[in-house]
Amino acid sequence: MPELRRDSITNTWVIIATERSKRPSDFAPPKEANGEAKDRPDNCPFCPGHEQQTPPEVLAYREQGERDTPGWLVRVIPNKFPALSTEEDVESHTPAPSLYTAQTGAGVHEVIVESPEHHDSWADYGLDQATLALQAWAERYRDLRNDNRLAYAQIFVNHGSAAGASRAHPHSQLIATPMIPAKVMEELDGAAGYYREHKSCLYCTLAAAEIREESRLVSLSDDFLAFCPYASRFPMEIWILPRQHQADFAEITLSQIQELAGILRKVLRSLAFTAGDPPYNAVLHTLPYQGEGYEQSYHWHLEILPRLTTMAGFEWGTGMFINPTPPEEASRYLRKNPELNPNQQE
């Protein structure tokens, strides 16, 4: 029978449509939907040797070479076609009084080119490469907090054209905005409400419950857990959380980055192994730059959202999702990858 499940953080509801239950092989996207964008290494601006086709780098980890030349392992550049402009100041465009609110498009939009190898992905990275990619995330996130115009930085991965990737070369993006996005604010308020009532972090409570119950657990390490959330919106949805309370991604240590790299690459290898390398989005949710008052209640986390179903009229009309694969089944499929055993530490 179908079941309605409530997300403890946002109070939104999900329909777990067990009568539509699907195995991973049932989703098998066609190759184009699975997302190889049509650029090749010889015409890819992100490949080594093509550095002059991009804006000047703002950060690079190198084995050799000068700035904006080959020899890099990870390279961060401004987006050539940014959603927001670093040149703008935050100014209101709203006449008073008015029903409508507008302001200048101030912000930052960067591309983190995570590997010099055109055909790499998180399922292919070695541990060292994965660690460098996450170091770049952390370094750019920390650096941009010094810009007083910015309230929040969203780091995300679009893997596959069906998930929004316009380039096949492995990369993530960072968009920093002058306001806290509504989705993040919803999480902040939900966690704060729980903290006021229970004097404890909801995410810490969820982490302990998932470890104890095990049925949705995907992988476990000393500092992190990966699990399919109880009210999963998508088949094979996976969250990764620090096991100990940590509100701000800026607080992550190098040893934690190395451990996060290990569990993230294993989880994404398992997703590729289980569901045929599906398109997915990965989004990092963390404490806003102007997040005073939420330090005890919020908890940064990474959400991996496979694009195995399509949002249609019901989802757009209600904000509710229909998920045909219960998270307990999804985690069981994911654990079949021989690299993963949630009953053993990484």
Compare 326 and 104 and report the one with higher pLDDT.
326
Angle value at C-alpha 5, between 307 and 214, nearest 5 degrees: 80
Cα dihedral across residues 146, 147, 153, 158: positive or negative: negative
Query: For 112-159, how does the pLDDT look when each residue is reduced to its tens digit (9 = 90+)?
Result: 999 999 999 999 999 999 999 999 999 999 999 999 999 999 999 999
Determine if the peptide bond prior to 97 is cis (ω within 30°): yes
Quick one: tokens of 344? Answer: 């053993």
Give the other-Cβ count within 10 Å of 337's Cβ. Answer: 18
φ/ψ bin of 277: left (φ > 0), alpha (ψ from -120 to 50), beta (otherwise): left
d(CA 209, CA 201): 12
Q: Quick check: 289 and 150 in contact, CB under 8 A?
A: yes
Angle between helices 202-213 and 182-198 in degrees, nearest 10: 80
Beta-carbon contacts of 332 under 8 Å, excluding residues fewer than 6 positions away, are: none
> What is the end-to-end Cα distance of the chain in Å, rounded?
36
CATH match for 3-90+99-335 among 3.40.50.10320, 3.50.50.60, 3.30.428.10, 3.30.160.270: 3.30.428.10
d(CA 113, CA 133): 8
Q: Quick check: 221 and 242 in contact, CB under 8 A?
A: no
Angle value at C-alpha 85, between 37 and 47, nearest 5 degrees: 30
Specify the pLDDT at position 21: 59
Residue listed under structure tokens 């090749």: 40
Query: For 307-319, how does the pLDDT look when each residue is reduced to its tens digit (9 = 90+)?
Result: 999 989 999 999 9
Query: For 21-56, how does the pLDDT look when each residue is reduced to its tens digit (9 = 90+)?
Result: 566 666 665 554 444 446 788 889 999 999 999 999
Q: Quick check: 103 and 91 in contact, CB under 8 A?
A: yes
Which of the residues 109, 159, 169, 171 is marked catalytic? 171
Angle value at C-alpha 191, between 318 and 309, nearest 5 degrees: 35
Is position 171 annotated as part of the catalytic site?
A: yes
Specify the pLDDT at position 87: 78
Quick one: tokens of 128? Answer: 């060292």
Query: For 84-114, how does the pLDDT look when each residue is reduced to its tens digit (9 = 90+)?
Result: 888 777 777 667 777 888 888 889 999 999 9
Quick one: tokens of 266? Answer: 């294993």
